[in-house]
Amino acid sequence: MKNFAYAIVTGILVTVSSLCARERLDCIVAVVGDSIILSSELEAFTFMQINQLGVQPDSFEMDLLRHKFLNDIVDGKVLLAHAERDTNITVSNEEIEGEVNTRITFILRENRISMQEFEQLLEKEQNITLSKFKKEIRQQIRQEILKQRVQQLYIPADKITRSDIEKFYQQYRDSLPQLGESILLSKIVINLTPSDEVRQKAFSKITSIKAMLDKGEDFVKVAQLHSEDPNASSGGDLGYISKGTLSELTFEEKVFSLKPGEISEPFETRLGFHILNAIDRKDQKMHVRQIFVNIAPPEKEIQKIMALFDSLKSACKTRECFTGAVKKYSTDEASKARDGQINWQTAATLDGQIRGSFDSLYIGNLSTPLRSSNSIALYRIDEIKKNRPMTLAEDWNQISQIAVQFYTQRKLVELVAEWKKEIFIDIRL
């Protein structure tokens, strides 16, 4: 039950803390328009923040921090009050209920417990019923969505230009976090091409599965029985997929062309054949299930590529030799255009399969051939840095995300400062 307790502390169930606090006698520490802020709410928020900051409760800074946290809560209330008045911002009950169910499903899955066990834990460890818990998080979720809508309406991310990001980097580059030990890799990739016979067999299977679905059979049960996806046991559930995060563009385009509840026609990617079931859409994310039929490559082709990579691993002792092999054999056009090099990766986040393919990490070392469902790859370590700073050339996406968050927060602070002039505020602490 350790994970369950951790989930509560990290915020999924954090509203329970404020609920328990409200059962004690409270005093009003601030009034924002029609909303009051109770001492228990400030205590719960302070408790969360000091745990994240690592501040001891008896620290001499606590009084200053408590005033700062109260101002943060006030700013949040001002933002929400403005969102409530803005007729362009709406949140439906269906949307809130969908998010409530999603969060509870996540808790059950992460802790591997049933709904009945979850209810028992709430009553035992938090002294709260499931219905009361849902009531609490509905309010929290509504406020989260309202804040998101304010940002989307008043601070659209697409208004932040490339020039803005470059200026941010030049101004704050020395303040950006170091990335720790990082590794620069090169790779040779050879795609596996299935025979026409194998492809036809897979196509026949996916069309027969679609026929079952057309007859009304349950998608989850069909996926559990017939899908070749690793998530088949969970009914092919892929969770929420964010727009722009998938390397397989055909798959992503199909995902975001569907409406919630819709089932796609069978379609093919370089991995195999897919049928998708859209469950829910939330902003730029889509919750989907899939049924997948793999297109297995011929074994003779696999053995031939494995033998080639084994010989290259023995023969290529220099970067020049590896680059020559990339140009001659690699079928991955993106990395081939860079002589096989891929972006820097931190040692901590390096894919486990790739890391495991090296006997040790040192410059010039080659991996064992690494096979995926549709390709075989050979990796080389080109460079290692113990503590690498971020650069625009190598870390554009990460720097862009930080810059967007920075500009968004700064603009939000400016907006809230203006909105404060339009609302009654009385701070009593």
Q: Which residue has the higher pLDDT, 2 or 148?
A: 148
Pair of tokens at residue 135:
């009531």
Q: What is the pLDDT of residue 8?
A: 38
Q: Output the six-digit token pair for 214.
A: 């057309």
To the nearest whole number, what is the mean pLDDT of the chain?
85
Taking residues 371-389, what's their average pLDDT?
A: 90
Mean pLDDT for the stretch of residues 205-225: 95
Q: What average pLDDT does the segment 229-251 reach?
A: 83
Check residue 266 and report its DSSP letter: P
| Whole-number pLDDT of residue 225 | 95
Distances (CA, A) of 7 to 103, 108, 218, 281, 341: 11, 11, 32, 24, 39
Of the candidates 22, 13, 277, the residue with the CA atom closest to the CA atom of residue 122: 13
| pLDDT digit string, tens, across residues 336-355 | 999 999 989 888 888 888 99
Q: Beta-carbon neighbour count of residue 53 at 10 Å?
A: 10
Question: Quick one: average pLDDT of 364-390?
Answer: 91
* Tokens standing for residue 145: 């969505």
CA distance 12 to 146: 18
pLDDT for 150-179, tens place per residue?
888 888 777 889 999 999 999 999 999 889
Locus of tokens 């328990």: 20
- Residue ranges of the alpha helices (H) in 256-332? 299-315, 319-329
Integer angstrom CA distances of residue 172 from 186, 388, 390: 30, 16, 11
> Model confidence over 64-78: pLDDT tens digits?
888 888 988 899 889
Average pLDDT of the residues in 378-383: 96
Which two structure tokens, joined as six digits, stand for 31? Answer: 């009034």
3-state secondary structure of 190: strand
Query: How many H helices and E strands in the chain?
Result: 16, 11
**Quick one: pLDDT at residue 54?**
66
pLDDT at 17 over 50: no
- Name the CA radius of gyration of the chain, rounded: 27
**Domains of the chain, earliest start first:** 2-159+409-427 (1.10.4030.10), 182-192+298-385 (3.10.50.40), 196-294 (3.10.50.40)
- Residue 256 CA to residue 287 CA, distance in Å, equals 10
Where is 38: in which H helix or E strand? strand 35-38
Distances (CA, A) of 234 to 206, 222, 282: 19, 11, 21
Nearest Cα to Cα of residue 199 among 289, 265, 271: 271
H/E element, 45? helix 39-53
The maximal CA–CA distance of the chain, rounded, in angstroms, is 78
Beta partners for 239?
Answer: 288
pLDDT for 139 equals 78
Q: Specify the 3-state DSSP secondary structure of 383.
A: strand
* The two structure tokens encoding residue 420: 């404060």
Task: Name the range with the highest mean pLDDT among 98-107, 182-191, 251-260.
Answer: 182-191
Measuring CA to CA, how many Å separate 2 from each of 7, 115, 130, 339?
9, 17, 20, 47
Tell me the C-alpha distance between 261 and 396, whole Å.
36
b/e per residue 218-248 (b: at least 16 CB within 10 A): ebbebbbebbbbebbeebbbbbebeeeeeee
Higher pLDDT, 23 or 399: 399
